[in-house]
Structure 1
Amino acid sequence: MENSIISTNKKRGFKFYLHIYKKLLVQDLKSKMSYRADFIISTVGMVVSNLVGFISFYILFKNFPTINGWTMYETLFLYGFSLVALTPVQCFFDNNWNLRHLVMSGDFIKYCFRPINIFFYFMSEIFDVKGLGQFAFGIGTIIYAWSHLSIPVTFLTLAQLVVYLFAASLFMIAIMNAAAAACFWLQNSGYIMIIMFRFKDYSKYPVTIFNSVFKAIFTFIIPIAFIAYYPGLVILRPDNVPLLSWLSPFIGAIFFYLSYKLWMLGAKKYDGTGS
């Protein structure tokens, strides 16, 4: 039976999964909109928390014109860039936070008997609409910072912005996929998710403000420097773009693929015992 399910999965194309996702998304949004007050409060809370971060940057640069060669508007650009890049992991992959509980309780077993990709089925069950507020605030911050920087608005720069935002989002998705997948091997893996998620706060800053040790960690071990700094340089400082910036879409795709394979490896080894 397992072989027949795998064979069936291989026949499933993009249109099939898009059709399924639309249906699941509609049902999830209907259930969320039945609690409109919770949705409004959560969205407002998300916007306010990001606004506090915006104001903190403003206050900081009122006292220090530049930080290690970075101006307020350049740093705000990276801040907005990171908010937009972090939106996909919140909107589309938020169910990773529930994975540990489902594995421990044994309820994850239900995902193993559907003739569709387990990873897709699990992630598509939840769409976190609060992330849309973060997305809007991030876009607004990018526009505000861009308007104060001498960066031309051309088709090329806008295309680069879209491509490198997408590339940046792959890194945080990969980090959280890998952190969530730890629950397939470790019982008390919740702290891994929390620690990895908190690292995202450092992605809002230029990696050059950290010492060489943390710069190496944030580049090669926990690659949060790729969430804003490296891809953002393509737009901010096009005359001095390091190789890692140009390669970030390819590196991001590799990281995402490896995290997906790790997640699937754990799911395939899951025995449903909940222990």
Structure 2
Amino acid sequence: MTGINKRGLGFYLQIYRKILVQDLKSKMSYRADFIISTIGMIISNLTGFVTFAILFQNFPSINGWNVYEMLFLYGFSLVALTPVQCFFDNNWNLRYMVKSGDFIKYCFRPINIFFYFISEVFDVKGLGQLAFGIATIVYAWGNLSIPVTPLVILELVVFLFAASLFMIAIMNFAAAVCFWIVQSGYVMVIMFRFKDYAKYPASIFSGIFRIIFTFVIPIAFIAYYPSLAILRPENVPILTWLSPVIGLLFFYLSYKFWMLGARKYDGTGS
């Protein structure tokens, strides 16, 4: 069954809660692995923080962006990338399950295949990334003297949500390629590595790369465009305001592409 089962949101939330509890119990039975992995995630993100500190010891700004604005972008990108790390990590296993034939088990349950597959894995290491990202935003925010008002906080939450949809969609597209191409792992790796460019303002790239990172592989929407509403509210481009709508549309298209591949698999057994 590949179609969307006509059940309410409450049903899926209840199912997800049960699956999540079991997954967390399984992971917490190996606490040392969890702790080491979380520390490794934090150290990895700390490296980026240190890189900015070293870079700005020699340059007061980069194309008009000072160190605290860059740190805000960095923290913003980390928080925006957390949902794909925590909730959609099972996409990395999709190509193996399709190749081995194990994916067929998802085709015979009376629930949405995409939900069933994605919900099986929750990567708790992403919580360390989330904590570090929030801390970086708070640190940069304090040094930028950005006013703390309910409206600004609401904008931050909305644009973080919108930003997260872009990376989720990119990885959905990349993962679903495996339904057509057997050796598709390189697609996932390449798309995931593009996230490293999300922490930089799109304005520092040349014209052709700015177009690619905005309209082809839209990593500029992971931090740059959404964060402009907070960092530079006096000069916000239209793409910033449109990012929530574009993000939802991009996610929906990635979902339909993923489901198209799942239907192909169900129909051919390939």
TM score, norm. by length of structure 2:
0.98
- Say which SS state the counterpart of residue 227 (structure 2) adopts: helix
2:204 maps to 1:205: no
Match of 1:71 among 66, 71, 74: 66
Which residue in the other structure is 1:168 paired with? 163
Which residue in the other structure is 2:110 paired with? 115
Match of 1:16 among 3, 11, 21: 11
2:177 maps to 1:182: yes
Deviation at 1:165, TM superposition (A): 0.1
Deviation at 1:261, TM superposition (A): 0.2
- Say which SS state the counterpart of residue 70 (structure 1) adopts: coil
Q: Indicate how the Cα distance of structure 1 residues 96 and 147 shifts in structure 2: closer, same or farther if over 3 A, else same.
A: same
Q: Indicate how the Cα distance of structure 1 residues 36 and 273 shifts in structure 2: closer, same or farther if over 3 A, else same.
A: farther
Which residue in the other structure is 1:132 paired with? 127
Equivalent residues of 1:103, 1:274 under 8 A apart: no
AA in 1 matched with 2:208: V
Distance 1:271 1:258 in 2: 20
AA in 2 matched with 1:112: C
AA in 1 matched with 2:149: T
Distance 1:6 1:42 in 2: 36
Provide the alpha-carbon RMSD of the alignment. Answer: 1.2
Which residue in the other structure is 2:75 paired with? 80
- Say which SS state the counterpart of residue 188 (structure 1) adopts: coil
Equivalent residues of 2:107, 2:266 under 8 A apart: no
Which residue in the other structure is 1:195 paired with? 190
Deviation at 1:150, TM superposition (A): 2.5
Matches within 5 A, 1:90-101: 90-101=85-96
Moved over 3 A (4+): 271-275
**5+ residue gaps, structure 1:** none
Which residue in the other structure is 1:26 paired with? 21
Deviation at 1:6, TM superposition (A): 4.8
Q: Deviations over 1:158-181 (max 9, x none)?
A: 000000000000000000000000
Deviation at 1:269, TM superposition (A): 1.0
Distance 2:83 2:151 in 1: 23
Which residue in the other structure is 1:39 paired with? 34
Q: Deviations over 1:39-93 (max 9, x none)?
A: 0000000000000100000110111000000000000000000000000001000
Which residue in the other structure is 1:106 paired with? 101
